C-alpha cells in the first residue's frame, strides 16, 4: 500500500472537522470531476471500524457524511465519493480488491 511506503496508514476520520478536511482536499484535486478516495474505514466481523483500531469510532450518517452503501461480505472497505454535483458525496462500501476504485487515497502519519 502506498501509505505504508511513507510510514503512514490510510486516513482515519474522527470528527466533523477531519471529515470536512479530507472532503475539501479531495474536492480541490478533482477539478470538478467525479472522484474516489480511499479512507481507513473497513468492515470486519464486529462491524465498521477504522484502520487504527485505537481511534474513537466516528461513524456519522447525516449532512456531512452519508454512508451511501451498506456493505455485504464482498464490500468491506470504504471510499469517499465526490461527485461534481455535490448531491451524493459520502462514504461508500467497496470491495477491498477493487481495481475500479484506484483514483486516490489520503494517508496520515506521525511527524517527528
3-state secondary structure of 80: strand
Residue 40 has pLDDT above 60, yes or no: yes
CA-nearest of 17, 15, 23 to 106 is 23
| Residue-wise pLDDT tens digits, 55-98 | 556 665 543 455 555 545 566 888 888 776 666 677 888 888 87
Taking the domains of the chain in order of start, what are their residue ranges?
A: 2-108
Total residue count of the chain as it appears in this document:
112
Look up the pTM and report it: 0.75
Q: How far apart are CA 100 and CA 110, in angstroms?
A: 30
According to CATH, the topology of domain 2-108 is Mannose-Binding Protein A; Chain A (3.10.100)
The C-alpha atoms of residue 110 and residue 8 are separated, in whole angstroms, by 7
User: Could you tell me which residues are beta bridge partners of residue 69?
Assistant: 92
Reported as a pLDDT band with limits 50, 70 and 90, residue 47 is confident
Amino acid at each position: 500500500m502506498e501509505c505504508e511506503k511513507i510510514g503512514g496508514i490510510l486516513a482515519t476520520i474522527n470528527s466533523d472537522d477531519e471529515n470536512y478536511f479530507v472532503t475539501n482536499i479531495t474536492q480541490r484535486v478533482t477539478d470538478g470531476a467525479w472522484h474516489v478516495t480511499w479512507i481507513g474505514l473497513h468492515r470486519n466481523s464486529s462491524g465498521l471500524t477504522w484502520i487504527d483500531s485505537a481511534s474513537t469510532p466516528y461513524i456519522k450518517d447525516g449532512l456531512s457524511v452519508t454512508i451511501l452503501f451498506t456493505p455485504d461480505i464482498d464490500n468491506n472497505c470504504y471510499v469517499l465519493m465526490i461527485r461534481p454535483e455535490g448531491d451524493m458525496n459520502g462514504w461508500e462500501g467497496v470491495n477491498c480488491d477493487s481495481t475500479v476504485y484506484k483514483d486516490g487515497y489520503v494517508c496520515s502519519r506521525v511527524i517527528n
